[in-house]
Structure 1
């Protein structure tokens, strides 16, 4: 009996080792293969067609069979005329275009990789009558990441292409740094706007390490090569320098927003506070209360709506880390900002 149990345990170990080894090999092979064949492309979608298909389905579902035949005949004639008109407008280059971009930013503003490609593509074909709508969602993040994202949007402004930013959920801190570049900012009534401030925090384990007699050596050339550290002994001078850097960054942030929106009373809104859309309108942080859907529908007759999206295949490790980060951030939001949930 004992021999049989030992044999079963040995067999289980062999099977487990085999499964782990094969899984590791498959994962390793997939990662290598994906690294060699990462596909990147610009995806263009004609948004009018999506709205039109949905609208027609709803209309047809409410009609009798006899009504459907009459309606379809009229619609066919109407479409022929519209196609001819649109063709003439395209040939004369008078049909205006609205380029629609989406930016859902993480802490590091990694989405700027796609944003710069999308804007470059638009600038290569757009004229002064065209417009760009950016559907923005971001709670902010690192200053250099969002600074670059704002600079990319500023390329449109410098070329005289009108930029509309629509905020349906949130544009706070670095997100608002991007939004303020727009010629016109539209916010949903309960979207979170503002948070014009800078934050920096870091844990310090120095006391814990001393308790267990663990020494940390940190050598630098330059008094402020390191200010606050996680493991060393932070002093009042390094803390003071760290706060000076935060204040310098905050000043640059405020100056940038003031340059982009001169009518804004920057001192009254740059204390780090955020507001809901309707309150942000009163403070002139936004220009209109509406949603991105309303903007698209209102522009449909006059403009050709084109969604521009930079698409690339993410690596397995990148997707895995991104998924973990998203779930952790959602959990932390629920824990620390539960009072804002309905």
Structure 2
């Protein structure tokens, strides 16, 4: 027995030592890969090259800080996406790059909001002014990718491919039936007739008010979508509407007949066409460079030498994701992190103006107010312009409303000025389903306010309603002050109602339509600077810091997605509901899904 334990102990020690050695080796390899990746500062582009752009990953506001992107090792290349900042910079650079002869839009799924697609689309339209070509090809055209591809000189589809053109559909998942079965009551306190974020918890279908607002903004988005395609393809907008409404496009041949595409070709035929266009010999391989590699050859701050050496700076502060307290990360807005960034640029004398890039459905009303305060303080000392992305609604609009001016895309989702709070009543779940009961002692009438094991009393509900009312009053007052309107007027267009950017301009919530470059130009003009360099805030977290925090989360997410399948969306919605129960929320009506 003694000998047995000796062998077991030796085995355990051996495993531990081997594990340590393996970890050290892996760490060394990763460090070497990072150092190697970091040393690749420039990428050579061969003459007569084609810039290949394929959007198969979600498009974030900024390119993730991942030096191993494109290097396959232990799955650490998980995020190969290129941020909107670098996509736009690459298209702008390619316009004057003598080695780039054109752009090839390859098979893409456009996992992005419509305003993001609009930014890229406009950049391609500007690129074409150089006289260079843009060619698009896909086996499957989603409606989002076709909207982008429609600006191309030639649009091709695989002869056996799929062309989706059937109109927009906005869908909401309602959870009330499931909550009833579980014995859970969602106790709602809200302000705003249209503040429909709570509806999935208390209804089984859309309210009349919500149906009206969704019909309005969805119609606005669709009208703009058809207008864009109409201009690019030279097809009457009403005709396009009828094509979609009558499902006229069922096969690639239909798309060709209706002049939605220019030809039916296989990939090899497209590559031969690109060779001719770029001036390459038909016997040679096509000279091309992928967007990710091309991006490595420049930074988002590239301008001409005069501007790069300028002491004048325009700061772009990225606020992307749901709003909450704390630090947050590159995909969520932490009030502390964004506030620090705004304070830093406010106190930096070299920064002459600020662009706040907002892409957020909102979140905690308290955290939104914290950021709003920093925007107000910044406005007192230097110009601050808001550029809205796909969504800048509810809390996302709250943090924007104090700026000198607000610029949005026509298809930005904004507004949703309203407040709500959710407190679950789990009494039936505990008592009837689980057989669990609770009892206790308290020193005051409201000592257990917020207890989820029982329903609210009328007095408690009144207290919470007063708190939400107070938050809504603060919200509308902040918007009225920032937008130079009366509070009564803001209340009339508020009530939680959602608007598109195009609609928001008409009612005064947005100053004008445009993209992030328009916002930067506006900030520079207001600061009276002609030459400047761009600086981005907040600083992105290091790759190793992200990696240490992401591995466990990613593994858990992968398991859940595998087990739940299509039901993972419901899980995420329930998870979001529990997060919204912590504090009053200034948040968009759940996630707007447009198909």
- Per the alignment, residue 339 of structure 2 pairs with 116
Change (3 A) 1:176 1:84: closer
CA RMSD of superposed structures (Å): 4.2
Structure 2 counterpart of 1:283, from 501, 507, 525:
507
Alpha-carbon distance, 1:228 to partner = 4.0
Alpha-carbon distance, 1:238 to partner = 1.7
In 2, Cα distance between equivalents of 1:284 and 1:267 = 13
Change (3 A) 1:193 1:316: same
Q: What whole-Å deviation, never above 9, does each CA across 1:236-259 have from its counterpart, x for those lacking one?
A: 222222222211211122222222
Map 1:122-271 → 2, pairs under 5 A: 122-126=345-349, 130-159=352-381, 161-211=382-432, 212-263=434-485, 265-271=489-495
Q: Does 2:540 match 1:311?
A: yes
- Contact 2:386–2:519, Cα closer than 8 Å, also in 1: no
In 1, Cα distance between equivalents of 2:386 and 2:549 = 32
In 1, Cα distance between equivalents of 2:592 and 2:347 = 46
Q: Secondary structure at the match of 2:437?
A: coil
Change (3 A) 1:289 1:340: same
In 2, Cα distance between equivalents of 1:136 and 1:282 = 20
- Contact 1:177–1:257, Cα closer than 8 Å, also in 2: yes
- Contact 2:324–2:335, Cα closer than 8 Å, also in 1: no
Q: Secondary structure at the match of 1:150?
A: helix
Please report the TM-score for the alignment, with normalisation by the length of structure 1: 0.67
Q: What whole-Å deviation, never above 9, does each CA across 1:184-225 have from its counterpart, x for those lacking one?
A: 001111111111111112321212323254222354444334
Change (3 A) 1:259 1:235: same
Q: Secondary structure at the match of 1:201?
A: strand
In 2, Cα distance between equivalents of 1:293 and 1:200 = 37
Higher relative contact order (CA 8 A, sep 6+): 1
Alpha-carbon distance, 1:318 to partner = 6.4
Please report the TM-score for the alignment, with normalisation by the length of structure 2: 0.40
- Contact 1:227–1:239, Cα closer than 8 Å, also in 2: no
In 2, Cα distance between equivalents of 1:151 and 1:318 = 31
Q: Secondary structure at the match of 1:241?
A: helix
* More displaced 10-residue stretch of structure 1: 184-193 or 310-319: 310-319
Change (3 A) 1:286 1:236: same
- Per the alignment, residue 313 of structure 2 pairs with 97
Q: Secondary structure at the match of 1:135?
A: strand
Q: Secondary structure at the match of 1:179?
A: coil
Alpha-carbon distance, 1:297 to partner = 6.6
The size of the alignment, in residue pairs, is: 280
